[in-house]
Amino acid sequence: MILGIETSCDETAAALVTDEGEIRANVVSSQADLHARYGGVVPEVASRRHLELVTPVIREALAEAGATLADVDRIAVTQGPGLIGALLVGLAAAKAIAWSRRLPLVPVDHLDGHVASLYLQPDPLEPPFLCLLASGGHTMLLDVHSHTERELLGSTLDDAAGEAFDKGARLLGLGYPGGREIDRLASDGDPAAYDFPVARVPGLDFSFSGLKTALLYAVRDLAEEELEARRADLAASYQAAIVRALVERVREAAERIGRDRIAIVGGVAANSALRAALPEATAAPLALCTDNAAMIASAARWTEEVPYPRYLALDAYASR
C-alpha cells in the first residue's frame, strides 16, 4: 500500500491506496472554519494547524484501513506547488516516517495529483483524454497523452476559476470557501438575470478578472436591501458566466486536438452547474475534486520513487 500525505493548502489529508488504485482510507481534515474569519487562507496559520493535525490524520487513515505502517510500501507526499510552509509540514512528516521504516519516498506534484484523481477505483479513466483542471490556484487545459505525459494547451492569464468563485463570493457577502456557497445559492437564482461578460482571449487561455470587476460594479450599484433580494440571481449569473467560459474552451480544445474523451478535475469540478453543462465529461467523485491525499497516492503509482535515505535532502516548491 501507498501512504499519501497532502498539506499544500488548508486541508490536512492522509490516504492509503493500493497499487491497483483501490482507496483503503481517505481522511481529509479541512481548516476552512479556522480561516473563515479572515475570508481566506492565512499561510502561517495553516502551517501551524498542519503541524497539529498531520500525525492524528495519518493515524486515523491507518485505523480506517485497518492497517499499520508495516503494511505501507512507500510514502507519497505533495512536494508542490502550494503554500511553502504548509508543504514543508507534510514533507517533513513523510520523510520522518519513510526514514524510520527505511521506505522509499515519492515526491508528487499537486497538479499530477488532481489529474490522478481520475485513475482511482472503482471507475478509473484511461488516457488519452482532454482534461480541464480547475481549482483554487490553477485553471488549465491539458492534453493527457498517458499516465506520465501531458501537454499544456491553455491556462488562465489572471485569476483561477476557483479564485473567481471565492472572490465573487466575497463580493456577495458569502462565506469562505466561496465556490460551494455560490453553487448552493445559485440554485435559487436566475442564471440569465445578469449578462456578465466572458473574456475572449486568444488561443485556449482563460481570463476571469474582468468578470470579477463586472460583478463588483453590479453589486456596487445596488442598495443593501436590493442586494439582499438579488443575491441569488447575481450568484447564478456569475456562476453561469464562469461555467460558460470553461465549457466553451473545453469544447474548442476537444475539437482542435480531436479528443472525444473529456475529464474535469480540481475543486471547481465539484460545481453542479459545470457538471451539468458538460454531461459528456468524466468528473472525479465529489470527495476527490477538492484537495485530498488519495489523489497524491494515486499519482505516486506513476512517479519515480526516491530511495532511502536520499529523499532527506528534498525540498518543497511553492510554484513551478
**Who contacts 133 (Cβ-Cβ below 8 Å, separation ≥6)?**
111, 114, 115, 139, 140, 141, 142, 265, 266
- Of 109 and 233, nearer to Mg ion (C-beta) is 109
- Of 165 and 206, nearer to ligand ATP (C-beta) is 165
Residues lying near ligand ATP in the complex (CB under 6 A): 8-9, 82, 110, 114, 135-138, 162, 165-166, 177-180, 183, 266-268, 270-271, 290-291
- Of 183 and 233, nearer to ligand ATP (C-beta) is 183
- Of 219 and 274, nearer to ligand ATP (C-beta) is 274
φ/ψ of residue 97, rounded to 5: -70, -45
Residue number with the shortest CB distance to ligand ATP? 267
What is each CA distance from 181 to 53, 91, 165, 213, 233, in whole angstroms? 26, 32, 9, 19, 13
Residue 183 touches which member of Mg ion, ligand ATP, none, C-beta under 5-8 Å by kind: ligand ATP
Q: Find the shortest distance in angstroms from Cβ 188 to Mg ion.
A: 28
- Residues β-bridged to residue 142: 131, 152
Residues lying near Mg ion in the complex (CB under 5 A): 135, 291
Residue 268 touches which member of ligand ATP, Mg ion, none, C-beta under 5-8 Å by kind: ligand ATP
Q: Find the shortest distance in angstroms from Cβ 10 to ligand ATP.
A: 7
List the grid coordinates of 173: 457577502
Q: Find the shortest distance in angstroms from Cβ 312 to ligand ATP.
A: 25
- Of 166 and 291, nearer to Mg ion (C-beta) is 291
Query: Other C-beta atoms within 10 Å of 203: how many?
Result: 14
- Of 18 and 272, nearer to ligand ATP (C-beta) is 272
Q: Find the shortest distance in angstroms from Cβ 239 to ligand ATP.
A: 7
Residue 79 touches which member of ligand ATP, Mg ion, none, C-beta under 5-8 Å by kind: none
Q: Cα–Cα distance between 227 and 84 in angstroms, integer? A: 38
Q: Find the shortest distance in angstroms from Cβ 66 to Mg ion.
A: 28
First to last CA, the chain: 29
Q: Cα–Cα distance between 31 and 18 in angstroms, integer? A: 27
**Who contacts 267 (Cβ-Cβ below 8 Å, separation ≥6)?**
134, 135, 136, 162, 177, 179, 289, 290, 291
Q: Find the shortest distance in angstroms from Cβ 22 to ligand ATP.
A: 22
Q: Cα–Cα distance between 299 and 76 in angstroms, integer? A: 9
